[in-house]
Structure 1
């Protein structure tokens, strides 16, 4: 039993012994019924926040206004919420007020039927006021009550609908889907950070390709990632891209990733984002070209990720990977020193995976991918970038050079010779510099 589940059961036992009704609620019930170990265990109870705080005085009352108390264990914490109904949602994000109520009414205020289930933590009995068990069994994602009203209450539910559909593999019920499409513009009410968090979960899910399709089809992408829609219908040379347009290529590439880290998924999503604005027709070759789409794409990726409030390290790494993805075409032509520097990038393990799915989602040519794997084996017994043979101080002391850019140029030339295998010790490196300075 996980420490958090143990905390939830201990908390539930104390609430029950104090005379309060208490259930496991939401995602914990949903996941357990699907045979998945829940990450979080939330409780719903008849106890008011004041009563919960009296039983757990070290708790955090940060959500007390909404009937939510955070009960803390040694390292874990769980959310304990009083059964409630929500008042009006004037900002499309949170209720103006709440009213403590019954389990039946509490279930009705939740987003989707599969999230509206309760479970007695001691008997294991499921309490279903919204038909969530049937929808779990039949694989349906359905809004509770009027779907339009649910989305108007909290527009983030639009993104959550896509995420739950993608993560569970469930079909979105027809009325829920139609309301989702009609309410898509409401997503503009939601902060970029909250959209980003849901979008990131979609991108790293197993069915991320379907998630991309749903975001495009429902109109949600138009509100926060309009650049994605420009990929649709952007033609590519069929000899290199028999799969179709840039959107189809991107979707397939994303789908081919195996449990990717977020940075890699974002880089694959955005690697060809600049093909539409750089597309030109080569009349002589009778084909489309996308000259500079890697360079322009890196800048666009930075702008998009900054708009969605991704952290700087994510923006920098993803933009870097986008800027270099076309260089893989030329790795077999690189001199050893240049190739080692190329492979020494911290992001290279992700970049080579980007290159793999880029190839496999287009013409299937893996020549450069296979070449790099052979080189990884060849270079495996020593650091790609070895300890420098010389320092700037060596050059200043030995050759009376003044500090400045010239020092860096010489050190890089020495490193190049070292990487090429022509220099292996300090004495020969100094001789190389002496000869270079004399010519």
Structure 2
């Protein structure tokens, strides 16, 4: 049993000593069986939220209406959820009501896919009523029970299925895929934020190209912001080697393949509810990518782009150009690390210095002169030293 489970065994034992059942469940058990890294350990129990709060001294109500309590125990935090059944779903995304139950099998029965419907006790024994371990061994994505019912309960499960193709390189079994195709229109009921969370993970999976092909095959793309009627553009992504691209680079490549004008990038990403800070980063990556198509990196471009942006832009440039040799990245990294300053705040001169030296009030000239100094420092024409900068400016002004 992995360390993350071993550390949580006392939590299960504490629940059992109080007379309740308790198990590890969900993605952590699936990833354990896949021998993958485990981040969060989730626990399911027959104890109600109130009973859980009586057993543990430090708890936080994070989703108590759905039976989930965050337990702080021995420097770790664990989400503990009461066994539950769910009544009829509303709007193809949430149950009308949740009933707390004492039966583990019924709790597992409400889950999406068989590989996620496995429980494990504190001794490492599996409880697997829906043959999830077999699905994992055969690398199959199959719903618990009838696929039509599972997707009608929560239509986002259709995107989750494709996301798992990307992350796990599994195949969607026929009945599940057929139901997905027939019910894909239900995705119009799902909030953009939930779609974006799944699409983000899909873009970063090891088998992202296969997942993107499924997005087209199943018509999911028609229900994603800005992608309707863009099948041919999305197909352009298949021409490139995507494996080494990170999340921001994948979004940038998607925008490049969609041929979105620079003025439309922000609107497209806002449609996906991407945070503004990330929008600005993606815009910068694309700005320098298009500049890179025209010319090599100048020292000033490396400086203004910053390390993360120029590495992403150069990575995309190499992928789009089909250049296997990536020696340019270490080359430009070496040039970047050799820059005398990495940002304007590191300049040994301020606007106040300039106004004092030239005995003039502030104005556009201050910004222009700071820019001139900045360029000179980056180009190695002058040293980043206040005295030397002043002498250089006075000499330039005199000439």
How far apart are the structure 2 equivalents of 1:383 and 1:207?
41
1:418 counterpart residue number: 377
1:370 Cα deviation from its structure 2 partner: 5.3
How far apart are the structure 2 equivalents of 1:14 and 1:221?
47
For residue 319 of structure 1, the aligned residue among 283, 300, 303 is: 283
How far apart are the structure 1 equivalents of 2:77 and 2:364?
55
How far apart are the structure 2 equivalents of 1:389 and 1:83?
63
1:53 counterpart residue number: 53
Tell me: CA distance 1:328–1:135, structure 2 relative to 1, closer, same or farther (3 Å). same
Asked if the contact 2:234/2:258 (under 8 Å) is kept, the reply is no
How far apart are the structure 1 equivalents of 2:396 and 2:276?
41
How far apart are the structure 1 equivalents of 2:389 and 2:15?
75
How far apart are the structure 2 equivalents of 1:373 and 1:51?
57
How far apart are the structure 2 equivalents of 1:180 and 1:59?
39
1:116 and 2:117 equivalent? yes
1:404 Cα deviation from its structure 2 partner: 0.5
1:263 counterpart residue number: 248
SS in 1 for 2:89: coil
Deviations 1:110-167 (A, max 9, x none): 1101111122222x22222112122111111001111111011112212211122221
1:84 Cα deviation from its structure 2 partner: 2.5
TM-score, normalised by the number of residues in structure 1: 0.80
Asked if the contact 1:25/1:119 (under 8 Å) is kept, the reply is yes
1:354 and 2:316 equivalent? yes
Asked if the contact 2:45/2:83 (under 8 Å) is kept, the reply is yes
Q: For this pair of structures, how many residues does the alignment match? A: 395
How far apart are the structure 2 equivalents of 1:68 and 1:140?
29
2:258 counterpart residue number: 273
How far apart are the structure 1 equivalents of 2:324 and 2:205?
27
Matches within 5 A, 1:297-376: 298-332=262-296, 338-342=300-304, 344=306, 347-360=309-322, 364=323, 373-376=330-333
Asked if the contact 2:60/2:70 (under 8 Å) is kept, the reply is yes
How far apart are the structure 1 equivalents of 2:328 and 2:28?
47
Matches within 5 A, 1:35-434: 35-99=35-99, 100-122=101-123, 124-227=124-227, 229-230=229-230, 232-233=231-232, 246-253=233-240, 255-257=242-244, 260=246, 262-274=247-259, 296=261, 298-332=262-296, 338-342=300-304, 344=306, 347-360=309-322, 364=323, 373-378=330-335, 380-383=337-340, 385=342, 388=347, 390-424=349-383, 429-430=389-390, 433-434=393-394
Asked if the contact 1:29/1:118 (under 8 Å) is kept, the reply is yes
1:292 counterpart residue number: none
SS in 1 for 2:35: coil
How far apart are the structure 1 equivalents of 2:215 and 2:6?
38
Asked if the contact 2:88/2:95 (under 8 Å) is kept, the reply is yes
How far apart are the structure 2 equivalents of 1:187 and 1:350?
32
TM-score, normalised by the number of residues in structure 2: 0.87
Asked if the contact 2:116/2:132 (under 8 Å) is kept, the reply is yes
Deviations 1:213-245 (A, max 9, x none): 222222222112343752x43xxxxxxxxxxxx
Asked if the contact 2:84/2:107 (under 8 Å) is kept, the reply is yes
How far apart are the structure 2 equivalents of 1:385 and 1:49?
52
1:365 Cα deviation from its structure 2 partner: 8.6
How far apart are the structure 1 equivalents of 2:378 and 2:237?
36
1:383 Cα deviation from its structure 2 partner: 2.7
- Identify which range, 140-149 or 52-61, moves more after superposition: 52-61
Asked if the contact 1:208/1:254 (under 8 Å) is kept, the reply is no
1:324 Cα deviation from its structure 2 partner: 2.5
Q: Please, which runs of 5 or more residues in structure 1 have no aligned partner?
A: 234-245, 276-295
SS in 1 for 2:361: coil
Asked if the contact 1:228/1:247 (under 8 Å) is kept, the reply is no
How far apart are the structure 2 equivalents of 1:372 and 1:166?
27
How far apart are the structure 2 equivalents of 1:37 and 1:418?
46
Deviations 1:36-76 (A, max 9, x none): 24222222223333332322243234433333333222442
Deviations 1:244-277 (A, max 9, x none): xx5344234462425x2x32332222233226xx
- Identify which range, 307-316 or 45-54, moves more after superposition: 45-54
1:343 Cα deviation from its structure 2 partner: 5.1
Q: Please, which runs of 5 or more residues in structure 2 have no aligned partner?
A: none
Aligned Cα root-mean-square deviation (Å): 2.9
How far apart are the structure 2 equivalents of 1:151 and 1:229?
24
How far apart are the structure 1 equivalents of 2:7 and 2:244?
36
How far apart are the structure 1 equivalents of 2:63 and 2:336?
55
1:390 Cα deviation from its structure 2 partner: 4.5
Tell me: CA distance 1:343–1:118, structure 2 relative to 1, closer, same or farther (3 Å). closer
